[in-house]
Structure 1
């Protein structure tokens, strides 16, 4: 008899745990997260070691308190070829109940920029895809990464830009 009673208690506890898991999963699924978008990608500077571009990222924080940004990672591709990648550690935080503009500096090494120039032809721009991962630290939940992707054309620097 004791074993039947123990089985019923175990079954009741198991059902209670399943309900609790479902409740927590539902609540976590409905937690708002910051929304981000790439607003612009522009030529910044050129020097003898690299060509620098700037990606402007707009991030809207739905929470009344600031949220730390753990890191920003990026991959810049032309066709399927990766031409630049990197990570920006600890770039600051998102303002509470506000939109924060982030400047993601993308460096294309000079050697890759030169090889792109040979492939470009007359229009002097490249079709690109920029993938950005914005990793933030949400209280209770932990680190989440907001994936962003944008495509477009960017102009390569001219000799005038270099000097």
Structure 2
């Protein structure tokens, strides 16, 4: 009887391993806004759902680093669902206090941008399979606006992704 149960477990495990899973990638990371209490960055994440039914995203976790130092970490609980057979765009806002940005002054004044590394984890709940995490990462630089940009309305933002 134990052999039959093991065979059934292996069969189910193989079938679950062959099921398509949602895929995601970080499309963009940019400066969203500046306020009295800090600077808000925004990560835009495209998530493709291969199933016909929508599936829930339990949470998004994130770690933002600059010059190998962690400047922010957090989580966004219950950001919604991924529509069936579509790519859903998620916006993950990340607020960095001004006090943290002061510690990045050397990097900012060197080339007037912030070199960053962003690690995201999309925690998704699939029926039968359960919850699993899609790990994502992106490296690049966020160009800071100059005085010239305020007057010309220029969009000279540059980003490199890996």
Using the size of structure 1 for normalisation, the TM-score is 0.85
Structure 1 residue 158 displacement after superposition: 5.6
Matches within 5 A, 1:88-99: 88-99=76-87
Corresponding residue of 1:68: 56
Contact 2:54 2:82 in 1 (8 A): yes
Bigger proportion of residues as helix = 1
For the residue of structure 2 that corresponds to 1:37, the secondary structure is strand
CA distance in 1: counterparts of 2:146 and 2:98, whole angstroms: 13
Using the size of structure 2 for normalisation, the TM-score is 0.86
CA distance in 1: counterparts of 2:120 and 2:84, whole angstroms: 22
Corresponding residue of 1:50: 38
Whether 1:117 and 2:105 are equivalent positions in the alignment is: yes
Structure 1 residue runs without a partner (length 5+)? 1-12
The 4+ residue runs of structure 1 with deviation greater than 6 A are: none
What CA RMSD, in Å, does the superposition of the two structures yield over aligned residues?
Answer: 1.7
Number of aligned residues:
149
Structure 1 residue 155 displacement after superposition: 2.3
